[in-house]
Chain A
Amino acid sequence: MASEKTKRKHSICMVSDFFYPNMGGVEGHIFQLSQCLLERGHKVVVITHMYNQRNGVRFMTNGLKVYYIPVVPFYNQCILPTILTTLPIIRDILIREQITLVHGHSAFSALAEETLYHAKLLGIKIVYTDHSLFGFADLSSILTNKLLECGMSISDHVICVSNTCRENTFLRANIQDPRKISVIPNAVDSSIFTPDPDAAPKDRIVIVVVSRLVYRKGTDLLVGIIPEICKKYSEVDFLIAGNGPKMVLIEEAKERHKLHDRITLLGSIPNQNVRNCLVKGHIFLNTSLTEAFCIAILEAASCGLQVVSTKVGGIPEILPDSMITLCTPSIPDLIQKVEISIQRIKSGDRIKSLEMHNEIKNMYNWRDVAKRTERVYDMVADSKSENSLIEAILKFRRCGYIGFFVITFVFLANFFLLMIVEYFNPRDKIDLAPDVSNYGRRKSKTHNLD
């Protein structure tokens, strides 16, 4: 514990449009990372926009303080990007909580992007995590990439969840030095995702699918293989959890091929039930068409399931070949690989689920992620970068002529707004919030830090 005392303590502010009560990869990542950073003695607050009635300050596990700022979501759970309007409240929070480091999450989050500009003006260091892959071809990606490029040019360090994601972000955001990007994978909470060999039926083989039923997650592929597999193997059932616009396709297939007793559609299930759903099966099937990391695969493997997945994005990086079966995104290949897995289960020639669980536990855990993220924080905090308006504007130069002009204009307008806010609500008039995080933990020294 002696070395823990001398370690640097950061005041970190996580910002993203996506947070609890929403559920998904980014949301889980922010929550778990925050918890582990709190555990390591840092101060963490989270800023997100309001969710229906959930507005104001809330406290979550271990005193994680969450600001639900009163801005309504506009499109796809994101706020309307205006940059200027969020300045007063974000500035207030950043000063009140004595934040030394802002950590934005997800390239799609408008709130995170806006907070970057505010933090830059307030002289706070910036780290950004990109969770997703994005193409280059269509109009929306050109626009998003330009915005990302502007945001990335002022952030001190970027974190990506896989090597593929890093290459993508490197090209997308036109970052000059790839060493500015670190790869820190996601992890899985192995204490929740434990195997339970008795939960799965002994005489049947159940294939589990847990994903949103949308085009990007490959529901069209899923619909293609279900009837074929059901026809060939009378002992195979499907268990599908998740909801989405493509659910109709599966229901149609169910009707057409009279598979009512073979396919169970659970609809969308709450996060805490995912594990109980996973352990009911033998094989986990992922048919995504694009994926930066795919936590769902880790969760399934941690529960000891055989994993069959399409070979896209960052998926080939996350598990050794002995634990995952990869295939091309085509119906014949998927069927073939699923058949191999079925044969393997029948013959009993498979890794024991407990063995798999322990292996995953060694490979991925959130504490390790937090430790590596902390290293990034230390590096950023140590870097002596000159922090002035001119320097920030000079950094925008590589966003192209139009991008430079627009973003500089917005940035300067933001600066003048900051002056106005500073005049009406001076910095020294803002109450400083006491640090209540880790309150329970500090009291009870017996808490096991693992």
Chain B
Amino acid sequence: MGKIDVKPSVNRQNSWTKKLYIKQSYDDNYVDEKTFLELKRINVNARLYTYWEAVLYSGLIVQQLSTVIIFVLIYVYLRSDLIKIENLVLFFVVPLVGIGYLSKVIVLKHKCSQIQSDLGNIIKFVLFTYGISPIVNSLTESISSDTIHALTTFMLIFNILFYDYDSSEATIASKTFSFNAALFACVCLASRFEKSSFHTFILLILAFVLFALFPEYRRYSEEHYPHSIPIFTITCFFICLIMMINLKLWLYIFYLCLVCFIISFVCPLILIKLQSKKKTIHGPWDEALIQT
């Protein structure tokens, strides 16, 4: 090197080059058919789905939706004394946590010390929740039930909207936000039990189990055993369905149509129809990714 090997300042050749430092004998708005947009790429990283794949993964939405409905139904039944709180604890909360934890211990092959520290955490957590439940119990005494129900509805909708379904980089998803929304809804509902703070306590525990532990449990098993997705979906769906039996018929049918049909079968169909129109444009103007 050592010398500048630039072409003469006016390019006498007839071919146009994509260089700005050469003064070329072409107009500024000259379009070179050969090089114009030659670096444009379409659908570089686009992933196309098959119908059954889409149906399978739409189950994740059904699971979360069912979880939310189960939670609300439990509240409704507790309020109207359709289920006794002792039965709920004995036949739902304790077995759910027990089976969940046992399977975790078996699969991850936990050591004794790990189990001990887990048990310690559980006891601390339960005692703490038990301690604050009287406060939560009277928290919203002065607020009307309508307000509480409206708030709860919004918060649970937020939970479903912002739930991190596939732990990908979807911009809208936020684990923290969706969990906090659910917890807010739970505190709202739990504070409506004027009778006893034990109900409040159990509902809080239930919210933690359903909105914090259960999603993590599902996520772990679905990542490592993809076959468990339909199992979870169907289980959640049917538990939800059975619990709805006491409700009005039209709600029952509405849920069946909405969840079972639209989310799981119609939406994937629309996705498949639309994905042929998928067109992402890439080129040298894209922000470069730092290669590692």
Contacts and interface: CB of A to CB of B under 8 A. Distances in A.
B220 to A, nearest CB: 30
Interface string B30-56: 110001110110000000000000000
B280 A137 contact: yes
A3 to B, nearest CB: 21
Interface in A303-353: 310, 312-314, 317-320, 322-323, 328-331, 344, 349-351
A20 interface: no
A182 B29 contact: yes
Contacts of A322: 1, 3-6
Interface string A417-436: 00000000000000000000
Contacts of A220: 290
A179 B283 contact: no
A136 interface: yes
A120 to B, nearest CB: 21
Contact of A310 (B1, B39, B288): B288
Contacts of A184: 28
Interface in B1-19: 1-6, 9, 18-19
Contacts of B2: 349-351
Interface string A156-172: 01000011110110110
Contacts of A137: 280
Given A136-B281, A167-B40, A328 B291 contact: yes
B91 interface: no
Chain A at the B interface: SS class: mixed
A350 B288 CA distance: 29
A7 interface: no
Interface in A337-378: 344, 349-351, 355-356, 359, 362-364, 372, 375-376
A289 B290 contact: yes
Interface residues of B, number: 34
Contacts of B270: none
A313 B284 CA distance: 5
B287 interface: yes
A350 B9 contact: no
A372 B19 contact: no
B2, B9, B285 — most chain A CB neighbours (10 Å): B285
B291 A330 contact: yes
A319 B21 contact: yes
Chain B at the A interface: SS class: loop
Interface in B241-292: 280-281, 283-292
B5 A329 contact: no
Interface in A144-193: 157, 162-165, 167-168, 170-171, 178-185
Interface in A88-130: none
Nearest to A220: B290
A119 B9 CA distance: 39
Contact of A363 (B21, B37, B39, B286): B21
Contacts of B117: none
Contact of A312 (B9, B284, B292): B284
Contact of B36 (A135, A139, A178, A329): A178
Nearest to A320: B6
A168 B40 CA distance: 9
B21 A171 contact: no
A278 to B, nearest CB: 19
A217 to B, nearest CB: 11
Given A168-B283, A330-B291, A318 B28 contact: no
B143 interface: no
A411 to B, nearest CB: 27
B285 A133 contact: yes
Contacts of B40: 167, 171
Interface of A: 133-139, 157, 162-165, 167-168, 170-171, 178-185, 216, 218, 220-221, 289-290, 292, 310, 312-314, 317-320, 322-323, 328-331, 344, 349-351, 355-356, 359, 362-364, 372, 375-376
6 contacts: A163-B18, A163-B20, A168-B283, A182-B27, A317-B18, A344-B1
Given A290-B286, A317-B20, 6 more contacts: A167-B284, A184-B28, A328-B291, A329-B288, A363-B6, A376-B28
Interface of B: 1-6, 9, 18-21, 27-31, 35-37, 39-40, 171, 280-281, 283-292
> Lowest 7 CB-CB distances: which A-B pairs, in order?
A330-B291, A182-B28, A133-B285, A168-B285, A182-B29, A329-B288, A185-B20
